[in-house]
């Protein structure tokens, strides 16, 4: 898990601290004080304040593009200082540090991406509860203060706990020294599209800076609906798939860079035009 | 074109991806996966969405401040996935990767900074068309998928094409292996000031974060108008040049850090106060 | 003051240049052109335009988290190009480069954190004037153009003066070659809380991205007011201290990560809800 000889270890940083304070900069200072050779990469500091779900989506769609050995620090932490756990999770050669509040849901989604059917009733979409780790992942609760800053505040564990732990890990400190193993992690129930009378009904997972609407409907599922499917969103119907954002005009449906069905407005902001937000329904059906 | 021994290669990144998504972070992950020693520098990720002209201005006024050998990746790409070309251009020791949509206009401006007179009629200011490369520059269309990610989306060539090509170039891959040579590049017609009855009439090229208004009138041209020129903009006249933003009060005209005439409002936002935007006219005349 | 062998020197950057222009990127280019091995860390580029006090607070609460040897470049510079001095200050193993306008007030606050009583009259809070350096600090005015860019603009000393000086210092250039020693530095009078009839009356120093209100009342001072103090701010009274942002509901008072009394709104923006801004009064008293 340590980086290649001669190459700097990589830490990514995803937070809701914004760019107008120095909170993220301070975390970088703490890490560089422990490992001055670190390469620290901003994933984003502009998650909406306390929007754990948005942070989870961005982290979950980004981490695989980094090389194995990368350490991903994610801090969207409305419960900082309460008894929520702080986590270290590892799998597929990557390490994740985050509060135990759902922020790792999309990283760990292989186990969590469908409604639980064991209990006989369906959970609410986006419900958060503790669920077992998927195969190939293991995790620890960060409980060993030896690797933290000497004085831990109750409001900024990014600086006092997550940053120093990340830096010590980058120098080769063993993950199992950071705290006790845990077998469950808090995750959102990421809703899966379901069939309703010939329509595949999914929902909006994310709206990006351009107003592109990212859904939970995979490109594969859409492909099963024939050459000319109809996408229904925000009271509008879009006929057929476009190859690109730049093709056609008005509202277009296409396979986005995340591999999911997206809805875009050519030269405009689809989410604003449609009044659509995360969680809203999106349906796909075959052309009639 | 490779960096000095022992020093990391430098890649700069200019996009309209914004700070609230992880698109720029993902590009950095792809690059670090290929060359973990890269030094990646943000020029800006906050070009207005799809504003190729703003991106072109910012890139064109920034790149010379980086050391030779730098690789500048610019992605403001409304036509991603269409048949617009992806470019590699090189000149003056620097390498540029960008869609072929005008984004390199200010980098290549030596050839493009005056209305074409060959055809007998004048083009519209900011018109985009293919024009020959200026002397000292050569370019290639990126057509060799060997240097791309294995799976290329139709919506995110920054991640799938530009980032991996930049990283491979930083490791010494030859530019000519990236694709076919091209001799023309899409560029904006960057308007030149013209004389109209004793007044030098230019236009607004850029408005910065402070509301400072950057024009296309060079400091040299203004100097030819005597010690006390009058600048006309947004219906107001400004008499004389100030040495600095902090001298005087109200609206001031001065030579900005880009070497062009700027209009500023002391302790305020000149563009907002004047209701001025990119493309609006700015005139300079001698004091009467 | 030079970094550990084999480790890159660290430069931090705090400006009001914003993320939508390339000014900060250009400064990084200048520095990397002189020292390609530098590790450059953004503290923030989003200080409110020309808000020297906000920049001073952010710098003053961040720098100690970086390792000794770090060079902190701070540019919030409404007086650029006027006769305001450019400074190099050193103390506690850190180096600071900034205009001489109050931006170093919180770095140097040990000497400046109480109203001057020598003259028999009290200064206005946040008044800026030249005051002696505190023990352990020394400073120089940047006057030696040998270490600047060849051509210095009157509007962008960040690029032309501060960036190249920082890079040369990182390579071992002696601070005393940068200019003449100075013994006073412009600083804000950072107001101290005062007793008014049993109430400790302080003020708001900073409002962060979350709307958390940071005051100038230290945790120690609050501790002296008993187990259940009452905090008065924006016309409201808050009884008792919370341990964390996430405990309780509505408005809470707590010790923030900076070590000062903070007021937060659980799941909300306290500063907006209370209509409170920097400089407004905050009082603390014992429970009655």
pLDDT in tens, A213-242: 999 999 888 988 888 899 999 999 999 999
Give B24-63 pLDDT, tens digit per residue.
999 999 999 999 999 999 999 999 999 999 999 999 999 9
- Interface with chain C: mutation pick from A7, A82, A84, A155, highest number of C CBs within 10 Å: A155
Q: CA–CA separation, C251 vs C264, rounded Å?
A: 6
Residues of chain C found within 8 Å of residue B244, distances taken between Cβ atoms: 79-82, 154-155
Q: CA–CA separation, C166 vs C224, rounded Å?
A: 43
Residues of chain B found within 8 Å of residue A59, distances taken between Cβ atoms: 22
Residues of chain C found within 8 Å of residue A156, distances taken between Cβ atoms: 257
Give A28-82 pLDDT, tens digit per residue.
999 999 999 999 999 999 999 999 999 999 999 999 999 999 999 999 999 888 8
Number of neighbouring beta carbons within 10 Å of residue B5: 5
Q: CA–CA separation, B246 vs A57, rounded Å?
A: 45
- Interface with chain C: mutation pick from A29, A150, A159, A167, highest number of C CBs within 10 Å: A29
Q: Looking up tokens 């409304």, which residue turns up?
A: B78
Which 8-state DSSP code applies to residue B105? T
Q: Is the pLDDT of residue A1 over 50?
A: no
Instruction: Tell me how far CA of residue A81 lies from CA of A99, A148, B183, C244, in angstroms.
Output: 10, 14, 61, 5
The reply to whether residue A20 touches residue C262, judged by beta carbons under 8 angstroms, is no
Chains meeting B at 3+ CB pairs closer than 8 A?
A, C
Q: CA–CA separation, C100 vs C267, rounded Å?
A: 39
Q: CA–CA separation, B76 vs B71, rounded Å?
A: 16
pLDDT on residue A111: 45
Q: Which tokens go with C33?
A: 């052109």
Q: CA–CA separation, B25 vs B16, rounded Å?
A: 13
Query: Is the distance from CB of B43 to CB of B37 less than 8 angstroms?
Result: no
Chain A interface includes B37 (CB < 8 A): yes
pLDDT on residue B137: 96
Residue B114: pLDDT band with limits 50, 70, 90: low
Chain B interface includes C155 (CB < 8 A): yes
Residues of chain B found within 8 Å of residue C153, distances taken between Cβ atoms: 255-257
Q: CA–CA separation, B44 vs C25, rounded Å?
A: 7
pLDDT on residue A215: 96
The reply to whether residue C42 touches residue A29, judged by beta carbons under 8 angstroms, is no
Among B209, B245, B247, select the one facing C21 at the smallest CB separation.
B209
Chain C interface includes A33 (CB < 8 A): yes
The pairing of beta strand A71-75 with beta strand A10-15: parallel
In DSSP notation, C21-66 reads: SSHHHHHHHHHHHH-TT-EEEEEES-SPTT-HHHHHHHHHHHGGGS
The reply to whether residue C255 touches residue A153, judged by beta carbons under 8 angstroms, is yes
Residues of chain C found within 8 Å of residue B42, distances taken between Cβ atoms: 24-25
The reply to whether residue C246 touches residue A29, judged by beta carbons under 8 angstroms, is no
Q: CA–CA separation, C80 vs B264, rounded Å?
A: 13
Looking at the DSSP bridge assignments, the partners of residue A230 are A239, A285
Listed in order, strand segments (DSSP E) in chain C are 10-15, 39-44, 71-75, 86-91, 94-99, 128-132, 138-141, 181-182, 184-188, 194-196, 199-207, 213-218, 230-233, 236-239, 251-255, 260-265, 281-285
SS3 A57: helix
Residues of chain B found within 8 Å of residue C24, distances taken between Cβ atoms: 42
As a whole number, mean pLDDT of residues B167-173 equals: 97
- Interface with chain B: mutation pick from C5, C7, C25, C31, highest number of B CBs within 10 Å: C25
Chain B interface includes C171 (CB < 8 A): no
B10-188, CATH topology level: Rossmann fold (3.40.50)
Chain C residue at shortest CA distance from A84: C246
Chain C interface includes A161 (CB < 8 A): no
Among A7, A39, A58, select the one facing B21 at the smallest CB separation.
A58
Residues of chain C found within 8 Å of residue B210, distances taken between Cβ atoms: 49-50
* Cβ-defined contacts of B143-151 (< 8 Å, 24+): B143/B178, B143/B179, B143/B180, B144/B177, B144/B178, B144/B179, B146/B177, B147/B173, B147/B177, B147/B178, B149/B30
Phi, psi of C269 (to 5 degrees): -115, 100
Domains A10-188 and A194-285 share a fold: no
The reply to whether residue B33 touches residue A67, judged by beta carbons under 8 angstroms, is yes
Chain B interface includes C49 (CB < 8 A): yes
Residues of chain C found within 8 Å of residue B48, distances taken between Cβ atoms: 20
pLDDT on residue B197: 87
Phi, psi of A165 (to 5 degrees): -65, -45
Among A20, A26, A154, select the one facing C46 at the smallest CB separation.
A20
Q: Is the pLDDT of residue A122 over 80?
A: no
The pairing of beta strand A10-15 with beta strand A39-44: parallel
- Chain B nearest CA to A270, separation (Å): 13
Closest alpha carbon to B242 in C1, C81, A26:
C81
- Interface with chain B: mutation pick from C7, C30, C34, C36, highest number of B CBs within 10 Å: C36
Q: CA–CA separation, A49 vs A80, rounded Å?
A: 13
Half-sphere CA count of C249, side-chain side, radius 13 A? 0
Exposed, middle or buried by CB within 10 Å (0-12, 13-18, 19+), for B156?
buried
pLDDT on residue B53: 94
Q: Is the pLDDT of residue A143 over 60?
A: yes
Q: CA–CA separation, A235 vs A137, rounded Å?
A: 41
First vs last C-alpha separation in chain C? 53
Instruction: Tell me how far CA of residue A137 lies from CA of A62, A94, A133, A169, B57, in angstroms.
Output: 18, 10, 6, 17, 47
Half-sphere CA count of C52, side-chain side, radius 13 A? 21
As a whole number, mean pLDDT of residues B213-242 equals: 92
Chain C interface includes A19 (CB < 8 A): yes
Query: Is the distance from CB of C12 to CB of C67 less than 8 angstroms?
Result: no
Q: Where are the alpha helices (DSSP H) in C204-281?
A: 219-223, 270-274
Chain A interface includes B78 (CB < 8 A): yes
Which 8-state DSSP code applies to residue C268? B
Chain C interface includes A36 (CB < 8 A): yes
The reply to whether residue C81 touches residue B243, judged by beta carbons under 8 angstroms, is yes
pLDDT on residue B4: 53
Listed in order, strand segments (DSSP E) in chain A are 10-15, 39-44, 71-75, 86-91, 94-99, 128-132, 138-142, 179-182, 184-188, 194-196, 199-207, 213-218, 230-233, 236-239, 251-255, 260-265, 281-285
Measured in whole angstroms, the distance separating CA C139 from the mean position of its chain's CA atoms is: 17
Q: Where are the alpha helices (DSSP H) in A89-215?
A: 157, 163-170
Query: Is the distance from CB of C49 to CB of A13 less than 8 angstroms?
Result: no
Q: Is the pLDDT of residue A9 over 70?
A: yes
Query: Is the distance from CB of B208 to CB of B215 less than 8 angstroms?
Result: no
- The CATH number assigned to the domain with range B194-285 reads 2.40.30.90
Q: Which tokens go with B261?
A: 């005439």
Number of neighbouring beta carbons within 10 Å of residue A243: 14
pLDDT on residue B140: 98
pLDDT on residue A5: 57
Q: CA–CA separation, C44 vs C74, rounded Å?
A: 10
Residues of chain C found within 8 Å of residue B45, distances taken between Cβ atoms: 19
Residues of chain A found within 8 Å of residue B21, distances taken between Cβ atoms: 44, 58, 208-209
| ipTM exceeds 0.90 | yes
Domain boundaries, chain C: 10-188, 194-285
In DSSP notation, C132-144 reads: EPPTT-EEEE---
Chain B residue at shortest CA distance from A259: B153
Question: Which residues 88-127 in chain C show a CB within 8 A of chain B?
Answer: none
As a whole number, mean pLDDT of residues A197-213 equals: 93
Stated as kind and residue range, the H or E segment containing C168 is helix C163-170
The reply to whether residue B155 touches residue A262, judged by beta carbons under 8 angstroms, is yes
Profile chain C (288 residues) by mean pLDDT over runs of 10 residues: 67 96 97 96 95 96 96 95 94 97 90 46 79 94 98 94 98 98 94 90 94 93 88 94 83 92 94 95 91
Chain A interface includes B143 (CB < 8 A): no
């Amino acid at each position: 898990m340590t980086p290649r000889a001669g190459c700097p270890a990589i830490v990514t940083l995803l937070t809701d601290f914004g760019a107008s304070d120095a909170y993220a900069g301070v975390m970088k200072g703490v890490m560089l004080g422990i490992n001055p050779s670190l390469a620290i990469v901003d994933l984003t500091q502009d998650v909406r304040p306390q929007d754990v779900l948005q942070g989870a989506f961005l982290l979950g769609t980004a981490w695989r593009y980094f090389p194995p050995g990368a350490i991903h620090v994610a801090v969207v932490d409305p419960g900082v200082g309460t008894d929520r756990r702080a986590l270290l999770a590892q799998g597929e050669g990557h390490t994740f540090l985050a509060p135990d509040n759902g922020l790792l849901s999309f990283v760990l989604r292989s186990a969590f991406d469908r409604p639980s059917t064991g209990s006989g009733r369906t959970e609410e979409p986006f419900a958060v509860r503790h669920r077992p780790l998927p195969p190939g992942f293991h995790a620890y609760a960060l409980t060993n203060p030896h690797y933290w800053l000497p004085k831990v505040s109750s409001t900024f564990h990014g600086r006092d706990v997550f940053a120093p732990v990340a830096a010590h890990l980058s120098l080769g400190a063993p993950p199992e020294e950071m705290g006790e193993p845990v077998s469950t992690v808090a995750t959102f129930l990421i809703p899966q599209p379901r069939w309703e009378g010939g329509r595949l009904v999914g929902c909006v997972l994310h709206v990006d800076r351009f107003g592109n609407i990212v859904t939970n409907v995979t490109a594969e599922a859409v492909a099963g609906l024939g050459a000319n499917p109809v996408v229904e969103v925000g009271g509008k119907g879009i006929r057929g798939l476009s190859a690109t954002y730049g093709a056609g005009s008005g509202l277009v449906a296409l396979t986005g860079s995340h591999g999911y069905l997206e809805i875009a407005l050519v030269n405009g902001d689809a989410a604003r035009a449609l009044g659509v937000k995360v969680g809203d329904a999106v349906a796909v059906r075959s052309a009639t």
